[in-house]
């Protein structure tokens, strides 16, 4: 599913144009990006959470030449799947109460 | 940030009433879940992609007790951040 496919479905559901739906999807993704860029995290119950993971500096190797290279520390966006979502994907039944969905 | 904050942003920036913005967020989340549930991927340029990965059975260890335990084969969600998203958290 691409953004275009998603926009079509969202447009049908909300009775809006596809362009408006694309705009809404962009606001959705941009708000997550902006939040993580500020160092904040995003938690959506039943879906999952987005947070920044820190990777420390390390000595790497160029796989082609075998030369040692310094890999600087960096931050990477990380998504932790929420319980309900995890169960849907694994084809298991979803607990009716969803009480232990802490993500 | 939680779902309500995203709903508020959509309401303000797209000029939707709150309940409508909330329905939009719920719909986007449901579409991602359903698509992955059927084994397909969701690819949103700049943001990233959600894919299903098949994991093989393996022997794991309880980190508390050190006991070995079998981890059954399973399907898991993998989110791969897009270039733009990765760059945004590193500036």
pLDDT in tens, B25-45: 999 999 999 999 999 999 999
Q: For residues A76 and A95, what is the distance between their CA atoms, to the nearest angstrom?
A: 32
- What secondary structure letter does DSSP report for B73? -
Q: For residues A70 and A58, what is the distance between their CA atoms, to the nearest angstrom?
A: 6
Mean pLDDT, residues A71-77: 92
pLDDT at B62: 87
pLDDT at A83: 95
Residue A93 burial (CB count, 10 A): 7
pLDDT at A103: 47
Q: What are phi and psi of A95, to 5 degrees?
A: -60, 135
Residue B33 burial (CB count, 10 A): 21
Name the band, by pLDDT with cuts 50, 70 and 90, for residue B7: very high
User: Distance between the two ends of chain B, CA-based, in angstroms?
Assistant: 20
| pLDDT averaged over every residue in chain B | 95
Tell me: pLDDT of A99 over 60.
no
Residue in A44, A76, A86 nearest the CB of B3:
A44
Tell me: pLDDT of A23 over 90.
yes
pLDDT at A96: 53
Mean pLDDT, residues B18-28: 97
Is A16 or A98 the better-scoring residue by pLDDT? A16
Tell me: pLDDT of A38 over 60.
yes
Task: Give percent above pLDDT 90 in chain A.
Answer: 70
- Chain A CA closest to residue B84: A33
Residue in B21, B35, B75 nearest the CB of A90:
B75
- Of the listed ranges A9-23, A30-44, A61-75, the least confidently predicted one is A61-75
Secondary element (H or E) of residue A22:
helix A18-37
Q: For residues A13 and A45, what is the distance between their CA atoms, to the nearest angstrom?
A: 21
Tell me: pLDDT of A101 over 70.
no
Q: Contact at 8 Å (CB) between A27 and A38? A: no
Q: Contact at 8 Å (CB) between B17 and B9? A: no
- Chain B CA closest to residue A46: B29
Mean pLDDT, residues A40-66: 93
- Residue identified by tokens 């694309």 is A22
Closest CA to B24 of A22, A87, A31: A22
Tell me: pLDDT of A75 over 80.
yes
CA dist list (Å): B86 to A59, A88, B30, B90: 21, 27, 25, 7
Residue in B5, B16, B81 nearest the CB of A76:
B81
Name the band, by pLDDT with cuts 50, 70 and 90, for residue A48: very high
Q: How many CB pairs lie under 8 A apart between chains A and B?
A: 130
């Amino acid at each position: 599913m691409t953004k275009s496919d998603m926009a079509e479905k969202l447009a049908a559901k909300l009775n809006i144009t596809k362009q408006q739906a694309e705009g809404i999807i962009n606001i959705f993704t941009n708000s997550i990006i902006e939040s993580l860029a500020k160092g904040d995290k995003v938690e959506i119950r039943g879906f999952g959470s987005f947070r920044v993971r820190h990777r420390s500096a390390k000595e790497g190797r160029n796989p082609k030449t075998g030369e040692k290279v310094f890999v600087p520390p960096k931050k990477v966006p990380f998504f932790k799947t929420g319980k309900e979502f995890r169960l849907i994907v694994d084809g298991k039944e979803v607990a009716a109460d969803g009480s232990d969905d802490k993500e | 940030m939680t779902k309500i904050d995203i709903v508020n942003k959509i309401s303000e920036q797209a000029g939707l009433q709150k309940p409508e913005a909330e329905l939009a967020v719920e719909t986007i989340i449901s579409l991602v879940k359903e698509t992955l549930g059927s084994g397909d991927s969701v690819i949103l340029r700049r943001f990233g992609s959600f894919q299903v990965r098949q994991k093989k059975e393996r022997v794991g260890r309880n980190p508390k007790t050190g006991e070995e335990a079998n981890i059954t084969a399973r399907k898991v969600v993998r989110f791969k951040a897009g270039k733009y998203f990765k760059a945004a958290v590193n500036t």
